[in-house]
Structure formats: structure tokens, C-alpha cells
Structure 1
Amino acid sequence: MTWNVWGRFGDRWLRRQRAIAETVRRQRPDFVALQETWRSTSEAQIRQLGFELGMTPVFAASRMPEDPDPDVRLGLGILSRFPLRSVEQHTLSTGTVALRTEIRLGTKSLHFITSCLDWEQDHREERLAQATSLAALVAELEARGDDVIVAGDLNTPPGGPELEPLLAVLGDCWQPQGYDGVTYSSHNPYLGTGEWLEDHRIDYILANEGLVPLGSRLAGLDEDHGRPPSDHYAVVADVPVA
């Protein structure tokens, strides 16, 4: 599962956070990648979710929109139902980071990675450089014989050239459906008007060739009293890994 959870933006962020936890609980994922998750000097959303859901949480600060509170940082988070063998933060081109966790499954390792590429419309070259760095990391891990899943907000519609480096080493787990998996939708009341990525699928779960998805779906559509808990919808994929 991957979800950009929109930090503490909006006037309903406490209520949204409760709805986020309940949405994840209903999906019962083994791994969750979060983007724009927040951490303050005294608490962190990822730790709270880990406690509520019985999952191991990890966090890495990354380049994100700034929270109005200077004591709050936004970044990347991963939740895992499996014990983590290792956790590492990788710096990609232009300073964006990827958060990698390693889980031992039988005789192989699974690397579950999340990142959030630059969101600005005029940062196409930066996104391409970041995706190229991330693809190089994936290729290095695959060369060991390990499995790799990348889940995150790539801020690029399907077919965008920024995706090409990643799709050269990983497959898209989204299975085409009638609504095409739009995750940044104009039907979402939290979306600003005229957003350049509006009505596109920009959140992805990508996996190496040996991992074949059984199904995919969106979540986080109306769990907050009929409203979505974030300005992005979540992506869930069922991918057997053992």
C-alpha cells in the first residue's frame, strides 16, 4: 500500500489522521509506504500508526511542502508487519531521498522502498534525474538476486518520460480498470483548482519481474465521514512475495 497522506494541512487534519488509520486497518497491508507524513519534536504520525496497527514504523525527513509549524517536518514513512533486517536512507539526485527497508523472507531479501519525486511542473529534469538514481539503486539490489518493490508518489502520469528509468527495471502493479486508477482527482475536495497533475494516476507500486500482482485497487476515497482522508487516494496491490 502507498499513500501521500498530506501532512497536517487543512483544518481537519486530526480527524483526517483518524480516518487514515482506519483506512489502513481495513486494507490489512503487510507494508505501507507514506509520503508527506509528519514528525514533530514530541510525536510522529508514523509512530502513532505503528502503535495502533501493530506494525514497525520508520521515518526519513525529505524534501516536501513545508508545514506552517516550524517544529514539524514532513517526510517518508514505512510500516511493516515483518521484522526489519535493515533500514537505510538513500540520497537521490537533487537531494531527494528514498527510504529503504529490507525484510528477510526465506532465503531471499525483499527491499521495500518509498520516495516522493519533485512535484513542481517545471522540475521535469529533476524528476528524471531522481528516477534514474532510484532505478540504479533497484538494479543494484536486483543484481544480488533480491526482490524489490518501490511504492510512492512519483508525481508523473503514466507514459511520462520520468517513469522510463524505473519501468526499465520494474513492472507497474496497477491493473487497468474502468477508472484507470486516478489518484489525484478533481473529485477530491482537497485538490486545488488547475493543478497540473489533476485527474492523473501519479502514485505507484512497482515490483521486479518475479513478483506478479494478483489485483490492485484504490482506497482512501470517502472514509472521513464521506470525504477522503487526504488530497491523494491510496493505492493497494496484492503481490505475493514468498
Structure 2
Amino acid sequence: MTWNVWGRFGDRWLRRQRAIVETVRARRPDFVALQETWRYDGQAQTDLLGFELGMTSAFAPSRMPRDPDPDVRLGLGVLSRFPLRKVEQHTLSAGTIALRAEIRLGTDSLHFITSCLDWEEDHERERFAQASSLASLVSELKGRGDDVVVAGDLNAPPGRPELEPLLAVLEDCWQPQRYDGVTYSSRNPYLDKGEWLEDQRIDYILANNGLVPTDSRLAGLDEDHGRPPSDHYAVVTDVPVA
């Protein structure tokens, strides 16, 4: 599962927080990648989610976006039903980061990686460079014979050249024959209308070609009293890994 959970934006973030917990609990994912998750006063949202859901958690601050409150730091997070063998932060191009969690599954390792690429329309070169850095990391890990999943907000619709480096080393797990998969939808009341990414699929789960998805779907559509808990919809993919 991957979800940009929109930090503490909006005037109902505490209610959204409750709805995020219930949405994840209902799907029972083994792994969750979070973007725009927050840390404040020594407490990380990933820790709270992990405690309520019975999952191991990790957090890494990132450079964007920034919360209006300077004491709130936004970043990336990982939740796992399995113990995390190793957690590392990797710097990509232009100061963007990726958070990598290594999970031991029997005698094999799975590397679960999340990132959030630049969102601005005129940052194609930055996104391409970030995706290229991420692809290099993936190739290194695959070279060890390990499985790799990249889950995150890539801020580019399918077919954009910025995604080509990643799609050269990983497979897109979305199954377009079933749903359109729009994760940044004009139907979402939190979306700023007229954005260049409006009504596009920009949140992805990518896996090496040895991992074959069996189903893909959206979540987080209306669990907050009929409203979505975030300005993005979540992506849930079933991928047998062991």
C-alpha cells in the first residue's frame, strides 16, 4: 500500500488521522509507504499509526513540502507487519530522498522503498534525475538477487519520460484493465482545482519482474464521514513475495 497522507493540512487533520488508521486497518497491508507524513514535538505520525495498527514503523524527514507550522516536519514513512532488518535514507538528485526498509522474509530479503519526487510542472529534469538515482539504487539491490518494491508519489502520470528510468528496472503493478487508477482526482474536495496533475494517476507501486501482482485497487475514497482522508487516494496492490 502507498499513500500520500497530506500532512497536517486542512482544518480537520485530527479527524483525517482517525480515518487514515481505519482505512489502513480495513485493508490489512503487510507494508505501507507514506508520503507527507509528519513529525512534531518528538512524535511521528508513523509511530502513532504503527502503535494502533501493530506495525513496525520508520520515518525520515524530507525537504518538501513544508508545513505552515515551522515546528512540524514532513517526510516519508514505512509501516511493516514484519521486523525491519535495516532502514536507510538515500539522497537522490536535487536533495530529494528515498527511505529504504529491508525486510527479511525467510532466507530472502525484500527492499521496500518510498519516495516523493518534485511536483512542479516545470521540474521535468529534476524528476528525471531523481528517478534515475532511484533506478540506480534499485539496480544495485537487484544485483544482489533481492526483491525490490518502490511505492510512492512520483508526481508524473503514466507515459511521462520522467518515469522511464524506473520503468526500465521495475514493472508497474497497476492493472489498467480494471480501473482508471486516478489517485489525484478532481472529485476529491481537498484538491486545488486546475493543477497540472489533476485527474491523473501519480501514485505508484513498482516491483521487479519476479513479483507478479494479482490485484490493484484504490482506497481512501470516502472513509472520513463521506470525505477522503487525504488529497490523494491510496493504492493497494497484492503482490506475492514469499
Deviation at residue 66 of structure 1 after TM alignment: 1.1
1:217 counterpart residue number: 217
Q: Distance in 2 between matches of 1:69 and 1:203?
A: 26
Deviation at residue 225 of structure 1 after TM alignment: 0.3
Correspondences of 1:165-184 after superposition (within 5 Å) = 165-177=165-177, 179-184=179-184
2:87 counterpart residue number: 87
Indicate the percent of aligned positions where both proteins have the same amino acid: 83
Q: Distance in 2 between matches of 1:4 and 1:26?
A: 17
Q: Deviations over 1:126-181 (max 9, x none)?
A: 00000000000000000000000000000000000011000000000001145410
2:154 counterpart residue number: 154
Correspondences of 1:184-195 after superposition (within 5 Å) = 184-195=184-195
Q: Unpaired segments of 5 or more residues in structure 1? A: none
2:114 counterpart residue number: 114
Q: Distance in 1 between matches of 2:10 and 2:179?
A: 27
2:18 counterpart residue number: 18
Q: Deviations over 1:111-131 (max 9, x none)?
A: 000000001111110000000
**AA matched with 1:204:** Y
Correspondences of 1:136-151 after superposition (within 5 Å) = 136-151=136-151
Q: SS at 1:162's partner residue?
A: helix
1:64 counterpart residue number: 64
1:9 counterpart residue number: 9
Q: Distance in 2 between matches of 1:141 and 1:50?
A: 26
1:206 counterpart residue number: 206
TM-score (norm 1): 0.99
Q: Unpaired segments of 5 or more residues in structure 2? A: none
Q: Distance in 2 between matches of 1:68 and 1:138?
A: 34
Q: Moved runs in structure 1, 4+ residues, more than 4 A?
A: none
On the 8 A contact 2:179/2:217 being kept in 1, the answer is no
- Say whether residues 1:99 and 2:99 are aligned partners: yes
Q: Distance in 1 between matches of 2:236 and 2:193?
A: 26
Q: Distance in 2 between matches of 1:178 and 1:114?
A: 25
1:227 counterpart residue number: 227
Q: SS at 1:36's partner residue?
A: strand
Deviation at residue 38 of structure 1 after TM alignment: 0.4
Q: SS at 2:21's partner residue?
A: helix
Deviation at residue 204 of structure 1 after TM alignment: 0.1
176-185 vs 186-195, which moves further: 176-185
- Say whether residues 1:131 and 2:134 are aligned partners: no
Q: Distance in 1 between matches of 2:105 and 2:55?
A: 17
TM-score (norm 2): 0.99
Q: Deviations over 1:71-102 (max 9, x none)?
A: 11000000000011100000001110000000
